Structure formats: structure tokens, C-alpha cells
Chains A and B, each alone.
Chain A
């Protein structure tokens, strides 16, 4: 668990440091940049709006001024040409003024002032206009309020074709159209538009009527900035974002241009930017959480082979390597970890094999010593036993059936014979150990089987055991010593017969060419109780027996295993047909 925690957390930390942290930093910068861009776009959009409004107002004003200039020039020419006909001049001038008023509804008042300052035609002119003085620049003066409506004066010199000043056209423009234009403009929530003159006095605004001539200079930073600017710009102050632009048509007496200003609360102007920022952050964290989860899963998957390796290492450290380790699913992992797992598996396998080999060697050494000693003992015991058995049989000869010594002599002879058999088995095992690779061929396996049956049937019939043969033909030759092979068959037949004692049964011996046709398969099946699973691994070990004490040496199957192995074949045990009894399967390689 600690390994998992450590590995997974480490991988997560690496992921965080390598990807998440830069992503967060870059993401934060990107979000900040995106918000700044959006805010800039808001400012640009507002500037574009006041540019359009300003152009509309400018255009209207300039059209009015041009109309006044053209009328002044036309009047001057006409006055110069018809200087003598005053009545004609009066009629044409009044007609000109009527047409001018009709074509330019903005003119609230319209007057023609002579070069001496006297009003010649039209409406009265306020004395502060300064007409009749010297220079008339054609400028637009400061705003004045008449009946609550803002007006501004426009002056146009009337010069004749000779360049002589013959009069001045003075008009008052009604700027209510500015308020209408501002009021009809489609502005954002909470936004308001404002036009101020060079003194900061509101001329028109979008959210109501201008009342009074109170200057906003000093109280409205946007107005101050706008009047100090030569072109356009923006200002953010006091929770309000403002854009401003000079209006080229207007210029106060002090040379300060009028300005159009748009103000909007920052919360409204930048609402979209803030929402975008908030949504982006939420989405970013959601994506981050998802990727962290994915990262956790990936980290777990990446570290799973390592955890498996750790468990395997723990198991290797604690398990008994002398025997075959329990099967475990192979560690499946890609790349370097997969290669490491594969190497680890190979290493574990080799360790197991080495440990098994070491144990086998140790056991083999012990067995070899025991075998050598047993062979020596058997050899030494065999001769006295032969003598005992010979004398016992010799003493029995000529004894009557009812002779009192006969029973004792027969017991001696019988036990001696059994001892001789035991000794013989020991000598067989000893000899089998010494001749592991028989070189002779057996061309007729079935013949060996039949001969084995022939030899054993009389002996085992007394034990109510029958032998049935199921021999497949023809069978190829196998690489096995004839006598050794016969001993294998004898041992397995007797072992099957012993297993069915005392009830008896049928030993079935079958032979056939094994699948793949590389070996001959010979099976010995019995009707006995079968061999428990726990005993199957040890059943071929020397001196291992499940028989009662004194009824078996535990060497029969060990000899079988050793001889079959020496043939290059295998021998194994399994449940018999239909799950009854035991079945020994011997595979003996054929000769090419």
C-alpha cells in the first residue's frame, strides 16, 4: 500500500509539476489576456459607436455650415452685382433666407449683418456675438441655452467675387438633434452618452434633458480628460469606463473642441468579459479535475506492474523455492516496465529453478549415498539370504507334511524369499541409477506388454485380479532397453494390482501411438481408490509408499520414473476413466 501510495503520488506530483503547473500558469495568463482583450474590444466598440455618432453630428453640423457659407457667397455676389436695386436685393435676400431655413431646419435663427455691425436681414443678433467687429473666422462659438434647448452660433463671411467683405451670415443651430441622436443610439446596459462643449457644459445627453449650464469640469474625470485630449481615448475611473472623442465641428472660443463621451459602469461594460473569465476558470478547473482523475488512473495503471513486481518480490523473498512455485498471472505492462517485469519473471524463474536444482542435488546426493549404501547392504545381505533360503529349502526336502519343523522352515523360506525380493528391488533401483541411458531399441512394445502380462497373470490371478490388454497396432520402435521397459511395465502392473487389494479388479493395459506421433503411449488403469491429489507429487519419490508398513518398499514407482526418464520419456498419474481408480500414462519417444 505504501509503495502504491508512494509511486502513484510521485507520478501524480510529476504530472502536476510537468503539466498542470505550467498549464495553470499559462492558463491564468491566457485568461487574463483574454479578459484584457475583451475589455479592449468593449472600449473599441464604444469608441466605434461614438465615432459614428460623432461623424453623424459632425456631418450634420458641417452640412449646415456649408449651406451657410454657400448662401453667404451667393448673397455677396448678388449684392455686389445688383448694388443699385435695393428692392430687388431685399426680395432675393428674403427668398434666400426662406429657402435656407427650409433646407436646413437646424437653423433656429438666421441673420445677415452688415459690415458695420447692423442687422440687415433676419432675426435679431445678440450683441455678444461680436459681429460687425473685424475678423469673422466662421467658427462655432460656445453653447447657449434658449428655452432650455442648446444652441450654438455659426458665422459665415459673405465676400464678393473680389474678396471684399460685404456682410456676415449669423445663424443659431438648434442642437436638439444631438440629443435625439444620442437618445436613439443603441448603447449597452447602463451606458450613457454625453456631448459637452469646451467648458465642459453638457450640450446633450442620452439619458435625459440637459438642464442648466453647469460645467462638469473638475467633477467628471472623463470630461476633463476629453477636453484635454486632441483626438480620442478612454478612461477607467471610479467604477466607470469612459470613452471620448473630440468633435471636429465644434470649437470653443478658447480653441478647445467639444467632445462626445460615453460612460458605462465597469460592471456592465465588462460583464461579458467577467462572465467569460468566470466560465473559463470553471471550465478550466473542471477539465483540470477530469485530467487529474485521468492522471490518477493512468498513474495507477503505470504503477500497477511495479506494485505487482513488489508483491512478486515479496513472495519470492518469503516462499520455499525448493518446490515449484504456485502459478501466477504474468505481469503485463508495456515498454520499459514490461521489459523489467519480463526480466524479473525470468529472474524469479531462474531463482526457483536454481533453488529446486539445489534441493534436488541435495536430495540426489542423499539418495545416492543411501542408494550406494543400500546396494552395498543388499549385495552383502543377498548372499546370506541365499544361503538361508537354500538351507531352508534343503531342510524342507524329505520332511513330512505333518513334521513339526516344517511350518517353521516354510516360514523361514517364505520370509527369506520376501527379503530377497526386497533386496532385489533395491539392487534394481541401484542399477537403474547407474544405467540412465539405455542404448538398445525395443521394436515391439506390445510384445513386451504381452510378455509382462503372461509373466504376471498367474501370480495376480490368485488375488482375484484380471489383466485386460487393449493394444494398438502397429506401433513403431521406441528407444528403450527391453529389460528395463519390461521392469517398468511389471512395476506399474503390480502397482495397479496392489491398489485394488483386497477386493481385486481389472488392470487394463493399453497402448497407442500418441498424438503428434513422436511417442508411444502406454496406460495402466485400475479400479482402485485412486491416488489423492496431495500424494501425486510425491508418488514417484523413492521410499514413498501408501501401503501398510512392511508391504511395500516405496521403490517401485521410483524405479519406473527413473527408467522412463532415462528413456527420454515421461510418466504421470491421473484419475482413471470415469473418475474411478488411477491411470498411469507412460510416454516413450519413438525412434526416427
Chain B
């Protein structure tokens, strides 16, 4: 997800997609395009950064100027674009899609996309390191407890990014969640969420289990270096990073489910303004052909969306798929794609010690309330339980065992 990008077909027929930092994926895309017949070439590709992709794409699709014929988008963008009438319905849904992939490509019962890959967060670990702990962990508490046991003076037990997406499993572990547009519950303004954020920030404390946050923009490089050098036993990350993390050390690395992990993916969609929709769907099919998906799974860690592709893919991609099967997608609502705009700074502020969890999450709640207002959803304010109820906050399944 971190490397997801938006691509636009600007000139003639089709477009393709690549991560903004993954040059080899771009080359692989070009290789596929070069295998097309001469009359089907002439694909002009534009790469957009993930952070600005949704805003930019939406503006382009709304204006119709330089409209792409095909776009690769993050799965969380789909509801917003589809409900705004900016996407075409996929013409021929395939029954070969894995259910998790079909779920990503569908909004309100309509299939709008050809899913390219499934992603989300899982545990990437060194096999020899986890032999001393309970593995795989069934809860966040077991995970943190195990990470404590693996943490030494020069080794950290768990690698985590200071990011709202990485905070999500811990939030869920405390019984909270991000907003549910169907109910109007924000989910973030509760004592459980504050406790979860405190606990999350504690991972980075001097007595915590995670390495200190690296400078902005260097997180991927830092965690890869630590993991490959053996100074990080377990890492929370997505399939997009697996190639860099594993290197040639395939046999020593494993993938396990992360409790309460989020799941997402990448989709090929055809905008309503596309001038060559049929050719665009055809190219989407070529880019998700079993042979291509299996190849890209091995080369870039993209988890296939078709059963035959998955069977042809390597063991790491299959492990990731298995790990992500139990993960939960974000709520299928247009607002879901925008949640992290405000959650990320809040998480960073708490981890940095600039704010308490309550302060930061209160700000997030205000931002999300405004967000809900834009979608004309009435927010249900959180009402604390009676003081004698004694159930807030819970630490069930979270508090670590004594190391």
C-alpha cells in the first residue's frame, strides 16, 4: 500500500500502474506492454505518488481533461469514485477471483474493477528467532510479549511504522476501530482507542520492543536494513516489501498472520470518461493474467487475485495470502480512504511525545466528524459507560506477559 500509485492513460488507449519507488515494477510493466501486438501498443503511462493520488485522480476524472483509460487505484478509493459515478462497471466478472479480491473490487454489490493484488499487514519473521516464543501469536498481547522476549541490547523484537495503518491492528485489539459510516460511530474517541494509542506509542519507548522511528521518508530502508542484518526479529509489513526484506534468504524467512490486521489491495478501474473502455478492460485482463500475476508475485511480492495465479506463485506469496485471509478490510465507504490523513499526524504526535493519546485522538475525532458531515452522516457521539461499570479500558489480549 505504501508504494501504491495511480496511473493514468493519457494519450491513446491504456494505462498501467507502478509503485512510485519501484523501478523494476515499471520495467516489468513495460515488458508486458511490449509483448502486445503492434496495433495495441502506444500505451502512455503516468505515475502519481500515492499520497496525492486520490485527490489528483478524482479531479481529473471529474474534469474529464486528460482522462485515463485505465487506472490502478488503492482499494479504499473505490467506494468514493464508484459512488460519485466516476467509474465504469466491469463488463465480465470472472468466477476465478479469490473471494478476498472480489470483495475489494465490489462496492454495494457491483463489480467495478479487475483486482490486481491483495495486500495488507502481516508478520514477517526470522524463523530461528520465533522458535523461543509462542508462534504464531493469536493476539496482539502475545505478539508484544514475544517481541519483549526477543528484544536484547542490540536486537529489537518487533518492527512497526509510525503510521495510522500500522496502528489499526492495535486499535482493534483494544476493541476499538475506525469509524463505521453505516452506524456513524467514530470509534476513535473512546478510552479504548486512547489506551491502544498509548500502548502503540509505548512500543517505541526506550524499554519498548520497536526501534526508534527513523527520519521521515527512510522507514522502509531502515526496517529493511535492520531485518536483513538480523537486528529485527519480527516485522509488521505488507507483501509489497517482501522482496526487499527476504533477499536471497528465502528459507529463513516466514510470514504469519497479524491479529486484527487490515486488508486491502490494488485494482484496475476504467473511468467513466475513458475514451477506449473496451481496450482498457482488455489490457487490465492482460495485466492480471495468471502468468503475469504469478511472475509478479515472485518478483515484487504482489499477492495474486486469481486462484490459478496463486497456485502458480511462490511460497512467500501464498503465505501472505494465507496470512491475509483472516484480516479485515477497512469499512467500505468513501470516507475510509481519507481517515488516515488525520490519523497519521495524530499517531506521530503521540509517539513523538508531543501530545497525549487523548488530545491527539480528540483532534482526530473532530476531523472525522467534519468528514462525516461532508458525507451527510450523522455522527453518534461516544458516551462513556457509567463509572461503576468498570470495563473501560480493556487490556484483554493486549497486555504482555512478563518477559
Contacts and interface: CB of A to CB of B under 8 A. Distances in A.
A137 B52 contact: yes
A531 B374 CA distance: 146
A164 B341 CA distance: 10
B342 A165 contact: yes
A160 interface: yes
Contacts of B349: 161-163
Interface string B336-356: 001001101111110000110
A116 B338 CA distance: 16
A14 B319 CA distance: 77
B367 A135 contact: no
Interface in A140-197: 159-165
B360 A162 contact: yes
Interface in B308-361: 338, 341-342, 344-349, 354-355, 359-360
Contacts of B46: 254-256
Interface in A214-258: 253-256
B364 A254 contact: no
B66 A164 contact: no
Given A255-B46, A255-B48, A164 B60 contact: no
Interface in A481-537: none
A158 to B, nearest CB: 11
Interface in A412-426: none
Contact of A162 (B51, B359, B371): B359
A135 B80 CA distance: 14
B354 A162 contact: yes
B212 to A, nearest CB: 19
B341 A134 contact: yes
B49 A116 contact: no
Interface string B175-218: 00000000000000000000000000000000000000000000
Contact of A137 (B51, B342, B347, B367): B51
Contact of A134 (B59, B66, B374): B374
B345 A159 contact: yes
A37 B126 CA distance: 54
Interface of A is mostly: loop
B315 to A, nearest CB: 35
Given A254-B8, A254-B66, A255-B47, A162 B56 contact: no
A163 B60 contact: no
Interface in B38-96: 46-49, 51-52, 54-56, 59-60, 66
B169 to A, nearest CB: 20
Nearest to B63: A253
A296 interface: no
B355 A135 contact: no
A116 B370 contact: yes
Contact of A163 (B48, B49, B51, B348): B348
B254 interface: no
B36 interface: no
A592 B144 CA distance: 133
B8 A135 contact: no
A139 interface: yes
A163 B355 CA distance: 8
A165 B56 contact: no
B371 A134 contact: yes
B363 interface: yes
Given A163-B348, A254-B46, A115 B370 contact: yes
A254 B363 contact: no
Interface of B is mostly: helix
B366 interface: yes
B360 A135 contact: no
Size bracket, chain A contacts = 10 to 19
Contacts of A137: 51-52, 55
A160 B360 CA distance: 9
Contacts of B348: 163
A162 B355 contact: yes
Given A161-B355, A162-B355, A163-B360, A135 B56 contact: no
A256 B44 CA distance: 13
A137 B58 CA distance: 14
A135 B362 CA distance: 19
B126 to A, nearest CB: 33
Contact of A161 (B341, B344, B354): B354
Contacts of B346: 162-164
B367 A164 contact: yes
Contacts of B347: 163
B334 to A, nearest CB: 10
A135 B344 CA distance: 13
A159 B8 CA distance: 32
A77 to B, nearest CB: 10
Interface string A124-140: 00000010001101010
B360 A164 contact: yes
A256 B46 CA distance: 8
B60 A135 contact: no
Given A116-B370, A162-B349, A253 B364 contact: no
B49 A255 contact: yes
Contacts of A159: 345
B285 to A, nearest CB: 26
Contacts of B345: 159, 163-165
A504 B54 CA distance: 146
Contacts of A160: 363
Given A116-B370, A134-B341, A161-B354, A255 B56 contact: yes
Nearest to B343: A163
Nearest to A162: B355
Nearest to A163: B345
Contact of B52 (A115, A134, A139): A139
Contact of A165 (B66, B355, B367): B367
Nearest to A159: B345
Nearest to B60: A254
B56 A253 contact: yes
Given A116-B370, A165-B342, A255 B355 contact: no
B359 A254 contact: no
A253 B53 CA distance: 10
Interface string B22-46: 0000000000000000000000001
Interface in B347-394: 347-349, 354-355, 359-360, 362-364, 366-367, 370-371, 374
Contacts of B60: 253-254
Contacts of B59: 130, 253
Q: Which of B6, B51, B347, B363 has the most CB of A within 10 A?
A: B363
B331 to A, nearest CB: 16
Contacts of B55: 134-135, 137
Contact of B342 (A130, A164, A254): A164
A131 to B, nearest CB: 12
Given A135-B54, A137-B55, A253-B56, A164 B338 contact: no
Given A130-B59, A134-B374, 9 more contacts: A139-B52, A161-B354, A163-B342, A163-B345, A164-B362, A165-B342, A254-B8, A254-B48, A255-B52
Interface of A: 115-116, 130, 134-135, 137, 139, 159-165, 253-256
28 contacts: A115-B367, A115-B370, A130-B59, A134-B55, A134-B338, A134-B374, A135-B54, A135-B55, A135-B338, A139-B52, A159-B345, A160-B363, A162-B354, A162-B359, A162-B363, A163-B345, A163-B363, A164-B342, A164-B345, A164-B363, A165-B345, A254-B46, A254-B48, A254-B66, A255-B6, A255-B47, A255-B48, A255-B56
- In order of increasing CB-CB distance, the 5 nearest A-B pairs are A164-B363, A163-B345, A162-B355, A163-B346, A163-B349
